[in-house]
Amino acid sequence: MQAIKRTKVIDVLRRTDYGATVNVKGWVRTRRGSKSVNFIALNDGSTIQNVQIVADVERFDEETLKQITTGACLSVNGELVKSPGAGQASEIQATEIEVLGTCGADFPMQKKGQTFEFMRQNAHMRLRTNTFGAVFRIRHNMAIAIHKYFHEHGFFYFHTPIITASDCEGAGQMFQVTTKNLYDLRKTDDGKIDYSDDFFGKQTSLTVSGQLEGELGATALGAIYTFGPTFRAENSNTPRHLAEFWMIEPEVAFNDITDNMDLAEDFIKYCVQWALDNCQDDLAFLNKMVDHSLLERLHFVVEHDFVRLTYTEGIRILEEAVKGGRKFEFPIYWGADLASEHERYLVEEHFKRPVILTDYPKEIKAFYMKMNDDGKTVRAMDVLFPQIGEIIGGSEREENYDKLMTRIEELHIPMKDMWWYLDTRRFGTCPHAGFGLGFERLILFVTGMQNIRDVIPFPRTPKSAEF
């Protein structure tokens, strides 16, 4: 076969220099045809669009044509021609076809219309489908949008550790990191596990959040963000929780809760607008095949202000709803942690807009959140989105050393390994605020997918770590 430099499908479809000789490589999506001519839809992942290969049967031997089945990998040389059909501008009249990789009939993505559940069990091959191609191209674009937004706004990308020895945040839901022989654990005299001979000489885990180290960055560099993997061993088998997910955590010195809300709203709108501007083909596909109201919802979010109200006001609305006959699975009262159904009621039914809820009872929020003057609520903020519920959780931080210590003592938080965190409050403490955005929850929103397992290439959930 003649050696010709490869052109990506996305580029070949834009070319209009008809008559040129081109090479494309990719995987067969479909093949149809008659006795005299075959039409092969070829996709190389660069775009959701396929390029049509026209192969005159008489030019190719029977053996080659037989191997051109769905999923097979081809290299095609041919002439770029103007497509007579509607839709595509260009197609390729094949002169040479090499089958780089044949594909048997047991290719799991052969049939159309497989369930997402089936595709999840074949997550290694689902990447080859239109839907997952679209999702993961969008996922890439959102990562770019995030870095672009923060870079343009003077934030520094700050790397926080993945292995950590502080266990104050996610008590009980951390994955341990150890090189100890789990079948022969050395114990101390009082029966506890002795970590002194472990790799780090103490108990260590995978991080549940980069925030505490992020605060160190913010109180030195002014404004930072993290964007990295996070791990939570919470046994919550929901469509919105993963054991391994990616989180974006901006942290800003001198920001108060209002600045924090402004940042969250501006940031999320920027990301959604980025998708609308840069992922048109993939969004159009998802809007057609997965969720017909997707584009409408994305436009709605960028065009409308988020509603801002306090937790206390939110509870009042929910209690009114219950009085009016609305049924919820979980009880609602002042002090209760909102379940996803409550969050979605506020967003989807009551306000019909994204909602930022603030000033939660201190009992249901983390120790580092700044106490309000009422002594009962803290300056927390959750951003609640349609379809998703909580997409962002954040707060103004307690910068006062004594007040922070009081909370730590009230909650019996083990602080012996946290002296470095407390030092931020001892050496030039300052007001600051930040939040965490779950990357996959953003991707759920932007793609219209229903299950968080379908917006990360290889999901980790309870009892599932395949691939």
Binding positions for ligand ATP, rule: CB under 6 A: 232, 234, 241-242, 245, 247, 390-393, 436-438, 440-441
Tell me the three state secondary structure of residue 360. Answer: strand
Of residues 26 and 434, the one with the C-beta less far from ligand ATP: 434
Q: How far apart are CA 385 and CA 354, in angstroms?
A: 5
Of residues 92 and 146, the one with the C-beta less far from ligand ATP: 146
* Distance in Å, CB of 301 to ligand ATP, minimum: 15
Of residues 68 and 388, the one with the C-beta less far from ligand ATP: 388
Q: How far apart are CA 319 and CA 254, in angstroms?
A: 36
Of residues 47 and 207, the one with the C-beta less far from ligand ATP: 207
Of residues 236 and 280, the one with the C-beta less far from ligand ATP: 236
Q: Of the candidates 170, 171, 246, 233, which has an alpha carbon nearest to the alpha carbon of residue 462?
A: 233
Of residues 25 and 308, the one with the C-beta less far from ligand ATP: 308
* Distance in Å, CB of 462 to ligand ATP, minimum: 11
Residue found under tokens 């249901």: 364
B/e letters for 166-202, b = 16+ CB within 10 Å, e = fewer, are bbbbbeeebeebeeeeeeeeeeeeeeeeebeebeeee
Of residues 79 and 234, the one with the C-beta less far from ligand ATP: 234
Q: How far apart are CA 223 and CA 226, in angstroms?
A: 10
Residue 4's φ and ψ, nearest 5 degrees, are -130, 140
* Distance in Å, CB of 250 to ligand ATP, minimum: 12
Of residues 396 and 440, the one with the C-beta less far from ligand ATP: 440
Q: Of the candidates 163, 186, 185, which has an alpha carbon nearest to the alpha carbon of residue 176?
A: 163
Half-sphere exposure of 189 (CA within 13 A, CB side): 0
Instruction: Kindly tell me the sign of the dihedral angle through the C-alpha atoms of 342, 346, 352, 356.
Output: negative
Judge whether 397 and 388 are in contact, CB under 8 Å: no
* Distance in Å, CB of 391 to ligand ATP, minimum: 5
Of residues 232 and 425, the one with the C-beta less far from ligand ATP: 232
Hey, what are 205's tokens? Answer: 């885990």
* Distance in Å, CB of 238 to ligand ATP, minimum: 8
* Distance in Å, CB of 422 to ligand ATP, minimum: 21
Q: How far apart are CA 148 and CA 162, in angstroms?
A: 23
* Distance in Å, CB of 378 to ligand ATP, minimum: 13
Q: How far apart are CA 81 and CA 89, in angstroms?
A: 9
Tell me the DSSP string of 167-208.
-SSSTT---EE--S-TTS--B-TTS-B--TTSTTSS-EEE-S
Hey, what are 328's tokens? Answer: 């919820």
* Distance in Å, CB of 240 to ligand ATP, minimum: 6
* Distance in Å, CB of 362 to ligand ATP, minimum: 15
